[in-house]
Amino acid sequence: MPRFYVDLPFVVDSEINLPDEVVRHINVLRLRLSDQISLFNGDGHDYIAEFIVLERRKISLRIISIKLVQNESKLDIILLMSIIASDKFDLVVQKAVELGVTKLIPVYAQNTQRFKSDKLASRMEHWRRIIISASEQSGRAILMELLEPLEFDQAIKNNSSPVKLILSPHHAGNLVVSDVLDSATLLVGPEGGFSPAEVELANQYGFESWQLGFRILRAETAAVAGVTLLQAYFGDFA
Ligand code: SAM
């Protein structure tokens, strides 16, 4: 059943008019009046809806049932992701949603290529659209939280996770697996890597160095591999 994010409150038996961008999206699918669709608004539920009006410019629906969605991981993963080339960062945003990351914070590391501050709003909107589309596809009914980019120092100082890890190919360190863990933070570097001073500062603030094998991974590969391993050790991949 096609599934769409709509930023509106839903009540069973009520009728709603879909916003224009969702109307355009549904038009592409060429659905029929007899079809049903699934809607979610980020409150952790899916809402099954039937069409009342299905026209090119107007779609009205009746909400006919509500279903609790329980596919969030028991592990809260906070991904501190250094900003990298935009197509690669987009990939990380999409994969983070699929892999069950709770919160993504873009980070300006020393070697980050900065974008102009007037571009921030459009970047945030772009990433938000990726989050919505990946949530529609993956079945998540709670949107991954996205914060505005933080400077490296701010990102590492304001973090209260019980386990904090900095991915670094040059600082040997294995993950010590403990049985119960409900939250973890993963810090991933930019294409040029972290400076030694950044790694040292992160270590001072409780980030343990974690090395993934002996090859240098692209930043986006490291993010996906790190999150996947956290889900496998402590989350819902076991
Ligand atoms: N030339 C850079 C360097 O030597 O640090 C390479 C950086 S790598 C392309 C980008 C980021 O991915 C790194 O800063 C680190 O966070 C992560 N990374 C890549 N390979 C890794 C590995 N084998 N173990 C842990 N982290 C890794």
Distance (angstroms) between ligand 1 centre and the Cα of 64 equals 49
pLDDT digits (tens, 9 = 90+) for 112-121: 988 888 899 9
Best of 113, 164, 168 to mutate for ligand 1, by most ligand atoms within 8 A of CB? 168
* The pLDDT value given to residue 180: 77
Q: Is the per-residue pLDDT at 100 higher than 90?
A: yes
Q: What is the pLDDT of residue 175?
A: 80
Position 176 scores a pLDDT of: 74
Q: How far is the CA of 27 from the centre of ligand 1 (A)?
A: 43
Tell how far the Cα of 217 is from the centroid of ligand 1, in angstroms: 6
3-state secondary structure of 222: helix
Q: Give the C-alpha distances (Å, rounded to integers) separating 191 from 168, 185, 195, 199, 217.
A: 12, 20, 12, 15, 10
On the 0-12 / 13-18 / 19+ scale of CB atoms within 10 A, 103 is middle
Per residue in 142-181, pLDDT (tens digit) is: 999 999 999 999 999 988 899 999 999 987 777 877 667 8
| Residues 231 and 99: beta-carbon distance below 8 Å | yes
Confidence of residue 65 (pLDDT cuts 50, 70, 90): very high
pLDDT > 70: percent of the chain: 99
137: alpha, beta or left? (left if phi > 0; alpha if psi -120 to 50): alpha
Distance 166 CA to ligand 1 centre (A): 10
Whole-number pLDDT of residue 141:
98
Distance 184 CA to ligand 1 centre (A): 19
Structure tokens at 165: 């890890």
**Pocket residues for ligand 1 (CB within 6 Å)?**
167-169, 188-189, 191-194, 211-213, 215-219, 222
Atom 12 of ligand 1, nearest CA residue? 219
Q: How far is the CA of 215 from the centre of ligand 1 (A)?
A: 9
Number of helical H runs and strand E runs in the chain? 6, 12
**52-75: buried (b, 16+ CB within 10 Å) or exposed (e) per residue?**
eebeeeebebebeeeeeeeeebeb
Average pLDDT over the chain, rounded to an integer: 95
Task: State the closest ligand 1 atom to the C-alpha of 213, by its place in the atom list counted from 1.
Answer: 23
Give the residue-averaged pLDDT of 214-238. 96
Give the tens place of pLDDT for each residue, 136-148: 999 999 999 999 9
Residues paired with residue 96 on neighbouring β-strands, in sequence order: none
pLDDT of residue 28: 92
Pocket test for ligand 1, best of 217, 218, 220, 227 (most atoms within 8 A of CB): 217
For the chain, what percent of residues have pLDDT higher than 90? 90
Q: Which tens digit of pLDDT belongs to each residue from 10-53?
A: 999 999 999 999 999 999 998 999 999 999 999 999 999 999 99
Judge contact between 69 and 42, C-beta under 8 A. no
Residue 216 Cα: closest atom of ligand 1:
20
Residue 182 Rama label (left phi>0; alpha psi -120 to 50; beta): alpha
Which pLDDT value is given to residue 8? 96
